[in-house]
Amino acid sequence: MNKLIYPAVAILILLGSAFTFVATTYKIADGYNIEFSSSDAGGVFKTFKGAIVFDEQNPAASKFDVNIDVASINTGNGLQNKHAKSDEWFDVAKYPQIRYTSRTFAKAGSGYQVTGDLQIHGVTKPTTIPFTFQKTAAGGVFTGSFTVNRNDFKLGKPGGDVGEQIKIDIKVPVTK
């Protein structure tokens, strides 16, 4: 009887693994765009890196762990760039990275949403980002948009010349 159990278990394991979905690991490709805007200021971050694992069929198996180099900020104005990097705003010397680490993924309408921890200026807040994924021949493109309150992350002084709500638009091409 024991001789029959081992082959039967092996067959069940093989059959089970044949139907297991494997999430795809993607590399961030050139041409990404991380753009921010408010009623008074806007710009882009030029350096974006990280690990992206995504499975359209099983979003729960997905994971984002990405970083923005804050020193790569470009507002289109050299003086504003210098001010944004100062200790009054991002304090690049002390907090050189913006980091987003996912916790959960879900299908949401015709797209998806990811909830994770957004860390800016030493402050970590749970943040949900709605996004879409469009397949391409080489991989795909993630596109999303969300808003943060800069005061939640202690960026700048409350009030002042810059709006409190900052819109973040993301477009990230990826390859397999």
For the stretch 109-151, pLDDT in tens is 999 999 999 999 999 999 999 999 999 999 999 999 999 999 9
Domains with residue ranges and CATH for the chain? 22-175 (2.40.128.110)
Q: Are 100 and 64 in contact (CB under 8 A)?
A: yes
In this prediction, residues 53-58 reach a mean pLDDT of 95
For the stretch 30-49, pLDDT in tens is 999 999 999 888 999 999 99
Average pLDDT, the chain: 90
Q: What is the pTM of this model?
A: 0.85
